[in-house]
Structures are given as C-alpha cells and as structure tokens.
Amino acid sequence: MANVLIQLLPYAIGSMMMPTWILLVLSLLRSEQGQKGAAAFAGGVTAVRLVQGIVFGALISVADVSHRPGEVEIIVSLLKLVAGILMWAAALQQIVTRGDPDEPDGLITKWITLISALTPIRAFGLGALLVTTSARAWLFTLTALGVIRQAETAVVGSVVAYALYVLAAEALLLTPILVNRWAPERFDVLSGWIKVRGRFITIAVSLLVGGFLIWNGASGLLD
C-alpha cells in the first residue's frame, strides 16, 4: 500500500495544480454563500472523481482480464508520458502569460457575477462541471487508476488508495476552507500568499513533476 501511495503522489500533485479552481474557492469563501458555497464546490469536484473511480476502475479490471499483462504497463506508461507533457505545457502557459502580477484577480473579476449568483447547489454543479470538462483532470484520474491496477492490490486496498489520491488531489481546495473555518484570522494571510506566489509555485511544480512523469513514462515504453 505504501508503495502505491508513493507512486500516486506525483499525480495527486499534478491534479491539485489547478490555479483557477483554487481562486474560485477563495472567491466563494468571500461571497455571500461563504463556507457553504466553497464546500459545495469542493463536493462537486469530489463527487465526479469518485464516480470516475468507480466506473473506470471497474472497466479497467474487466478489460484487464482479456488482455496480456504487458499491455497494462504500456497504457499506463503512455498516460504518464502524456500527463507529463501536459504539465510542461501548463508551466509554459504560466510563463508566457506572465503579464500583470495581479492578473489572477482580473480573471476572478470576470467570474464575479457568476460567483455572486451561486447557491450551494449551483456551486456543487460548477465543481462537477469543471472536472467533467477538464481533459487534464480526466488524464490524471485515469493514470492514477492505471497505477493502482498495475500494483494488483486487493479490492479494499485499491479503494483506499484511490480515496487517498482524491483527498490529496484536492488538498489546495480544502485547505482554504478548513483555515477559514478553524482559523479565520489567518485566512486573509493564506489567500494573499496563494495569489502572490501561486503562479511561481505552479510553474516550479509543473516543471518538476512533469519532467518526472515524462522520464518515467518514456522509460516504461522503452523497457
């Protein structure tokens, strides 16, 4: 189990590097809906990822019965390679669109009408919609499921591993919510820190994790 969780860590880190989603949570926490709206948004993200895990985990298990074991390794390696390339592309996008350091606030300003009109139910739907329509989120989820299947752990172990992956993937969505609830006096500090340093952290993490995934995926294909 410990080995599987270590292997899943890069994909959890890659999944949590969604700057727009994080800024939406911060803005929801400052809106009229506050804690309920932000928690509902995170709940929508979680719900879709859990459904993805149930559906595609079952499909991968059934498909693996009639395929040679080596094919699973090839598919997982290919997914790793593509995931790494996408992370490098995300880092490049952040570098190219450096612009004004206050640009994230400008992005959220475009959402301000939507955010102010979001009820908890609509916030839940928005979170679910963003995961459903995000090719990057789908890719990381499928890769994580492939890694779990490749490890050939027991059913209970696989379920626990995927649940922990989902929890880790949403760490940057849940942390502001928890801080706002349990230490509201520190929320403004955390929010400001994320807005100022979030872009640089995204670039650094995307380059490092993306490089690791490209190397790992390419090695698996060449073996």
Average pLDDT over residues 87-110: 64
Biggest CA-to-CA distance, the chain: 56
**Residue 169 DSSP SS3:** helix
Average pLDDT over residues 24-41: 85
Q: Could you please report the per-residue DSSP string of 85-134?
A: HHHHHHHHHHHHT---TTHHHHHHHHHHHHHHT--HHHHHHHHHHHHHT-
The pLDDT assigned to 43 comes to 95
Q: Which of 36-40, 115-119, 212-216 has the lowest mean pLDDT?
A: 115-119
CA angle 46, 147, 141 (to 5 degrees): 25
Structure token digits, residue 132: 């459903």
pLDDT digits (tens, 9 = 90+) for 134-152: 888 888 888 888 888 887 7
Residue 180 has pLDDT above 70, yes or no: yes
**Mean pLDDT value across residues 29-50:** 89
Residue 179 has pLDDT above 70, yes or no: yes
The model's pTM is 0.81
Q: For 48-72, how does the pLDDT look when each residue is reduced to its tens digit (9 = 90+)?
A: 999 999 888 777 666 655 455 567 6
Please tell me the distance from the alpha carbon of residue 162 to that of residue 144, in angstroms, as a whole number: 8
Tallying the residues shown for the chain, one arrives at: 223
Q: Kindly list the distances between the CA atom of residue 175 and the CA atoms of 15, 166, 179, in Å, as whole numbers in the listed order.
A: 15, 14, 6
Distance (Å, rounded) from C-alpha 151 to C-alpha 87? 24
* Residue 18, phi-psi category: left (phi > 0), alpha (psi -120 to 50), beta (remainder): beta
- Based on its alpha-carbon atoms, the radius of gyration of the chain, rounded to whole angstroms, reads 18
Q: How confident is the model at residue 101 (pLDDT cuts 50, 70, 90)?
A: very low
